Amino acid sequence: MNFQQLRIVRETVRQDFNLTTVANTLFTSQPGVSKHIKDLEDELGIEIFVRRGKRLLGLTEPGKELLAVVERILLDAQNVRHIADHFSSRESGNLVIATTHTQARYALPEVIKAFKSEYPRVHLLLHQGSPKEIAELVVAGEADIAIATESLANATELVSFPYYSWHHAVVVPASHPLAERREVSLAEIADYPIVTYHEGFTGRANIDRAFVDAGLVPDIVLSAIDADVIKTYVGIGLGVGIVAAMAYDPERDQDLRRIDVPGLFAPNTTRLAIRRGAYLRSFAYALIDKLIPGLTEQKIAEALRNETLGGSDFVI
């Protein structure tokens, strides 16, 4: 048994049992992947995968139990490397943050600026993706910290903590009939074409729920994952925009007007998550403490000991 065999088992499941994709991902050959699987099955005396001819269809029952152990072994192997890195150089290294465009653009810059001034030798990498992709990156060990509004609280492999709460706002061109209004109703918004976030991003579920609960069917003419894209199309008159309130900048968005509507849509909570059992460098905890003051390494360890599941609120 060797690490390459274990990596192949894990990657086979991640790639939906497509051995060609597994081979490409691990920079090896498909026959080599098949041989590693066969050698491991022969050594253990069990079949790990369900087969139809040469195709793999899924995991056998012993394969399912084996996968959980494989995940732990590979995570601990990664932790060994992180521990060595930590003690060889405590203030330099790589830190990968998986997040959405909205968080990277509007919530993180000032915190990251302060962090980099204290840890100039730490290389930060921002992976931007959908909330589902963000959770998967941290679960897979390809990112250290996840920051998003959706999905993180539902991933059992992650422990998550509330970062901050926020509301949506309406944005319209300065010449729009609603531009000078301080308050608007859902019905008034629904009278116009709407430009807002793509499904699964930046609190879109709360927007949809508000209209459904009010018995309204909005005409969403364009959806995007990027607030700047939404504002661009609002600016050319495509429709009324619904964006995160923090995405409106009076200086940059002088051709638009923001209408605050805190009572129309349910508030949203952005969360920070890390993988259970993952070893984080000291500078990662330093960044977390800047994002959520008081959420120290000790507090996180305490939450894990108390079996605080992702989705449970953290009290400092």
Residue 201 vs residues 192, 244, 253: alpha-carbon distances, Å:
22, 11, 22
- Digit-by-digit pLDDT tens for the chain (316 residues) are 888 888 898 889 989 899 999 899 888 998 888 888 988 888 889 899 998 888 899 999 988 999 888 888 877 777 677 676 656 566 668 999 999 999 999 999 999 999 999 999 999 999 999 999 999 999 888 899 999 998 898 888 899 999 999 999 999 999 999 999 999 999 999 999 999 999 999 999 999 999 999 999 999 999 999 999 999 999 999 999 999 999 999 999 999 999 999 899 999 999 999 998 887 888 999 999 999 999 998 888 887 766 444 444 444 4
Does one domain contain both 230 and 116? no
What's 38's domain CATH number? 1.10.10.10
Does one domain contain both 133 and 176? no
Look up the domain containing 179 and give its range.
168-260
Residue 89 to residue 95: CA distance in whole angstroms: 13
pLDDT reported for residue 277: 82
The string of pLDDT tens digits covering residues 149-207 is 988 988 888 999 999 999 999 999 999 999 999 999 999 999 999 999 999 999 999 99
Asked whether residue 314 is assigned to any structural domain, the reply reads: no
Does one domain contain both 137 and 273? yes
> pTM of the predicted model, to two decimals?
0.71
131 phi, psi to nearest 5 deg? -55, -40
What's 158's domain CATH number? 3.40.190.10
Asked whether residue 313 is assigned to any structural domain, the reply reads: no
Number of domains in the chain: 3
Asked whether residue 301 is assigned to any structural domain, the reply reads: yes
Task: Name residues whose C-beta falls within 8 Å of residue 195's C-beta, 6 or more positions apart in sequence.
Answer: 220, 221, 222, 223, 224, 230, 233, 234, 238, 239, 240, 241, 242
Considering 82, 109, 131, which residue would you say is the last residue of a domain?
Answer: 82
